Structure 1
Amino acid sequence: MKKSVHMALATAIALVVGLALTSCTSDSSQDKENQRKQDNYDHLVAEQPAGRMEYSPTRDAINQWIRTWGKRGKLSYVYIQNAKGEYGYFIMKGLPVPRCKMLTPTEKVESSDNGIAVLAQPGMDGTYSSGSTCDAYYGFDATTGAYMEFTVGTNQSFFLFDKPMTMPEYASARQLGPTSVKDVG
């Protein structure tokens, strides 16, 4: 019985000492600045709490995007404007995809006693990418399935719609891919 009391007492003392040691914080200038930012944030939240919305237009727009594009077989109409202001179009199966999108993780985090390292992972093709291809998009033609790729930037923009556009600048757009609006209309 005495042994269990001594064991419980020793455990309690160890717990108190452990908690005391972990409560010691560094007084570095970074710690002080971080605490100042947190104190300021806490003060501002107390004085100006976030309001409550009755309706979220952002969530509604995201749900509308899901309803629009979350269907198999949905076509996208990609209109490209060049530096001269001329328009052309592609009709694709689904949405154009930025080349920097991946189905597998592009990085792996490893931690050890020495710290944390973020390591690049190879892509599905067994090569590494810098992720700098986000201005290149690809997709597949609506009727032939042909692979198509285009870039944006440097005086070239694209506009994406879920149906053909009839406004004059789009209606006179030149067909750039195998499928025309007449083919799918």
Structure 2
Amino acid sequence: MHTITRVILAVAAALALALGLTGCTSDSSQDKENEAKQESYDHLVAQQPAGRMDYSPTREAINQWVDTWGKRGKLSYVYIQNAKGEYGYFIMKGLPVPRCKMLTPTERVVSSSNGTAVVAQPGMDGVYSSGSTCNAYYGFDATTGAYMEFTVGTNQSFFLFDQPMSMPEYADAKQLGPSSVKDVGKP
């Protein structure tokens, strides 16, 4: 009885191995489609190569962002619009920060004889996070230093400026935090 079981298991293992190997060939329809896609891409690149720019407006915008926000003491004027279209504002020291940003790595790669795995790391407070708080922002009030946090999404948006806005919708915005535009003066 044991011999028959062993023979059946050996035949099943050989059959599984043979079937597994046939799935690794490059004759599958997916492989053919991927090859056709790559050939098409190569042909199009040869016929229409990417142009070369003499100037990058994207790099200029990024550098201007660095020049604007890379200064200690720079204030943010955060205007919040609710579902009714009403505006309020906060004035913060520096930029509002999404709560999902961390100073330490949130994951690490662990290798073993079984392969590689990505393992979650605890945050600065010693607990693990799902990273799902990217719609929550925090910062500190411009004059009092008070911690402030707000969320965006589902009928609430925020608009960030480096100076107070005088357009009508912003000029009539209600003060939401401890600091007012009058408290901080003109930038």
Question: What is the deviation of 1:40?
Answer: 2.8
Report what 1:11 is aligned to. none
Mapping of residues 83-102 of structure 1, within 5 Å = 83-102=83-102
Mapping of residues 11-90 of structure 1, within 5 Å = 26-27=25-26, 29=28, 31-90=31-90
After superposing the two structures, state which structure 1 stretch, 49-58 or 88-97, moved more.
49-58
Report what 2:145 is aligned to. 145
Where 1:39 maps in the other structure, the secondary structure is helix
- Letter of the 2:106 partner, please give it: T
Gaps of 5+ in 1: 1-24
Number of residue equivalences? 161
Call closer, same or farther: CA 1:123–1:81 in 2, change over 3 Å: same
Call closer, same or farther: CA 1:125–1:92 in 2, change over 3 Å: same
Where 2:125 maps in the other structure, the secondary structure is coil
Report what 1:109 is aligned to. 109
* Superposition CA RMSD, Å: 1.6
After superposing the two structures, state which structure 1 stretch, 137-146 or 37-46, moved more.
37-46
Question: What is the deviation of 1:79?
Answer: 0.4
Report what 1:121 is aligned to. 121
Question: What is the deviation of 1:28?
Answer: 5.5
1:156 corresponds to 2:156:
yes
CA distance in 1, matches of 2:113, 2:26: 23
Cα displacement string for residues 77-135 of structure 1 (whole angstroms, at most 9, x for unaligned residues): 00001111111100000000000011111111223342221111111111111111000
TM-score (normalised: structure 1): 0.81
Where 2:88 maps in the other structure, the secondary structure is strand
Mapping of residues 171-182 of structure 1, within 5 Å = 171-182=171-182
Report what 1:8 is aligned to. none
- Letter of the 1:73 partner, please give it: G
- Letter of the 2:147 partner, please give it: Y
Call closer, same or farther: CA 1:80–1:69 in 2, change over 3 Å: same
- Letter of the 1:134 partner, please give it: C
1:131 corresponds to 2:131:
yes
- Letter of the 1:43 partner, please give it: H
Gaps of 5+ in 2: 1-23
Question: What is the deviation of 1:32?
Answer: 4.5
- Letter of the 2:61 partner, please give it: A
CA distance in 1, matches of 2:45, 2:124: 45
